[in-house]
Chains A and B, each alone.
Chain A
Amino acid sequence: MKKQTLWIVLLTAVAACSAMAAETINAAGATFPAPIYQKWFEEFHKLHSDIQINYQAIGSGGGIRQLTEGTVDFGASDMPMTNEQMSKITKFKVLHFPTVLGGVVPTYNVSGVGSLKFSGATLAGIYLGEIKKWNDGALKKDNPGVNLPNQDITVVHRSDGSGTSFVWTDYLSKVSPQWKSKVGSNTSVNWPVGLGGKGNEGVAGLVKQTPYSIGYVELIYAVQNKMEYGSVKNMAGDFVKADFTSVTDAAAGAAKNMPADFRVSITDAPGKNAYPISTFTWLLIPEKIDNAAKEKAITEFLKWMMTAGQGYAQGMSYAPLPKPVVAKEMKQISLIK
């Protein structure tokens, strides 16, 4: 009798397990869009309970690397892959799919000063370690009339390979020749000063806990954690804060002239109301997916992402893709085999 019950229990357990066995797709990459990606994958799973997309936010560098190693089914990055990186993947070609637009904001932990204004040169100076105090002349010039404290600036940057870092350093390289020659732009650079935080969350966490610190994060991280963030001077000379409109404006030029492979940088964009540190963020999808079930699931998700998914963007402090871009992307889906 005992043996029988044991078998029954065992069989039901096995049956339950196979019923639970959903198609699991593994993805990894940028922390910049992680909040909305996690929301998307959660919602998509509710609609398609047999598809589980497990996204691990390990940084854009991680996404590119794991895609190259073949340990994930697709990756995510805020920095488009370079030709050199793409050539390292011999098994398939990589297709870039923009997902949303976002802005990288300078967030800081200084009480009593409200929303500060930063010019590009000031940000470069802070991150080069040349502007050391909050009441430095450059900051005073950007913020006339604001009572800035006489405190050291604690600089926070990313310790991991980050697309957000790429966007930030890409912008700094465009506005500061000194930054460009001394440090350059990449997912991982030799930071002159500062503490390193892991992921957008790590940077936000450090800034939140460290008085008189400054860091760069995707807009939603500052908003979700109720952290103060500043406006940045754009090419037209206006101090603009990152929001739905300013980020969308930054992409206006790219929307019209999007390259076929969707790899484009929109930092320091022209336009009166354009937010200068905006970026697309991409999913890195293999052109050839061997597993038919996975291929179907991924293409399903991409279609959903470009239609219903875009509706979540604004509520989460990202901006949806411009319509011409979506149209072009839909065509790219058919390239996936």
Chain B
Amino acid sequence: MATVVAPAPPQSPARKLTKPWRDGDQITHLVTLIFAGSVFLVTVFLVYELWIHSGPSRAKFGFGFITGRVWDPVSQQFGALPFIYGTVLTSILALVISVPLGVGAAIFLSELAPPRLSNACTFLVELLAAVPSVIFGLLAIFTLVPLLRSYVEPFLKDTLGYLPLFQGPAYGVGYLAAGLILAVMTFPFIISISREALMAVPREQREAALALGATKWESTWQVVVPFARLGILGSIFLALARALGETMAVTMVIGNDTGIHTSLLSPGYTIAAIIANEFTEATGDVYLSSLVELGLVLFALTMVLNAAAQLLIIVTTGKGSKQN
């Protein structure tokens, strides 16, 4: 039955003009747009400020800044390579440890554990993500570092000391300590997201494999995990992005040395750590702008990684049950 709409009463011109504003919708639209837009503006402004304040060092060093190996405030020579190296090295070390452990735990939690245990453990692991970085640093200084110095590093030197990776004095602090604490900090991301990805794999896939005679492990490793690989990869990217930008825990255990060293036992530096240590006291324009430029480099690195991770996660959840 056709609905009958009563004709609207004739409106005066003034009333017509003010109608949108009286409704309040336009105002709300504007107000919320302003707030939302401020997020956009602030972020753009942030990049702008980083760009401007790194001007002197960009002018002086150009692209050579990224490949420069020397960080010498006395001669005003600044290069980012030792810090990029330290950042990447500690992050990769962290992933080498946390990915096998994390994916292993995710597999257990999604495939083997009874649901209540799985949920309880995931809850606990996700709480780990909430622990502030400085507390990890506090723990690392007083527990991890002495452990490394007195037991782990001498052991590594004795057994694997012929590799350049494990040479040099056992300080306790250094790349290894930073990598380990970063590994702990990235567990929650890998476990939580990988578990979600694994649980999203349709039952039919598992059942099909088992019906064909595969053991539970074979079904998991050869069917389920590959199916969820994009999500797992996304979690790794996110974990990597977190590790790259991590400041406090790393600053407290990296040893603060501005050189490039091959040994994992040696002290080093990351971008975030040197900014934290030297920012308030960098005297001179080039020095300060070099630190800001380091911040810009780090920002660019994490930006690229976050984009890659987002893409992967979107693709995974979008793909759903499409294979390959």
Contact = CB atoms under 8 A, between A and B. Distances in A.
Chains A, B in direct contact (C-beta < 8 Å): yes
Interface of A: 28, 58-66, 68, 85, 152, 154, 159-161, 183-191, 194-198, 206, 209-211
Contact of B281 (A161, A183, A197): A161
Task: Report the 6 A-B pairs with minimum CB-CB distance, sorted nearest first.
Answer: A196-B256, A61-B281, A62-B281, A159-B256, A161-B281, A190-B72
A228 B145 CA distance: 22
A59 B277 CA distance: 10
Most chain A CB inside 10 Å of its own CB: which residue of B70, B278, B280? B280
Contacts of A209: 145-146, 172
Contacts of A196: 255-258, 267, 277
A188 B256 contact: no
Given A161-B282, A196-B257, A210-B171, A184 B74 contact: yes
B74 A190 contact: yes
Given A183-B74, A188-B73, A65 B255 contact: no
Contacts, number: 86
Contacts of A85: 283
A15 to B, nearest CB: 36
A71 to B, nearest CB: 9
5 contacts: A152-B169, A161-B281, A184-B75, A190-B70, A195-B257
A171 to B, nearest CB: 16
Contacts of B74: 183-186, 188-190
Given A189-B73, A209-B145, 12 more contacts: A58-B281, A61-B281, A64-B281, A65-B283, A66-B280, A161-B283, A187-B283, A190-B70, A190-B258, A194-B267, A195-B256, A196-B256
B19 to A, nearest CB: 39
B224 interface: no
B299 interface: no
A248 B145 CA distance: 40
A197 B256 contact: yes
A129 to B, nearest CB: 11
Interface string B80-109: 000000000000000000000000000000
A98 B73 CA distance: 26
Contacts of A189: 72-74
A114 B277 CA distance: 34
A230 B176 CA distance: 32
A210 B146 CA distance: 9
Interface string B267-281: 100000000011011
A58 B72 contact: no
A315 B73 CA distance: 36
Interface string B137-171: 00000000110010000000000000000000101
B292 interface: no
B117 to A, nearest CB: 40
B136 interface: no
A211 B149 CA distance: 9
Given A61-B281, A160-B277, A161-B282, A195 B173 contact: yes
A108 to B, nearest CB: 15
Contacts of B145: 209
A48 to B, nearest CB: 28
A278 B100 CA distance: 54
Nearest to A60: B281
B281 A195 contact: no
B153 to A, nearest CB: 12
Contacts of A64: 281, 283
Most chain A CB inside 10 Å of its own CB: which residue of B149, B280, B281? B281
B277 A62 contact: no
A61 B255 contact: no
Given A198-B256, A210-B149, A160 B278 contact: yes
B61 interface: no
Contact of A61 (B149, B172, B283): B283
A161 B283 CA distance: 9
A75 B255 CA distance: 28
Nearest to B146: A209
B71 interface: yes
A209 B147 CA distance: 12
A187 B258 CA distance: 15
Contacts of B171: 154, 195, 210
Contact of B283 (A68, A183, A184, A195): A68
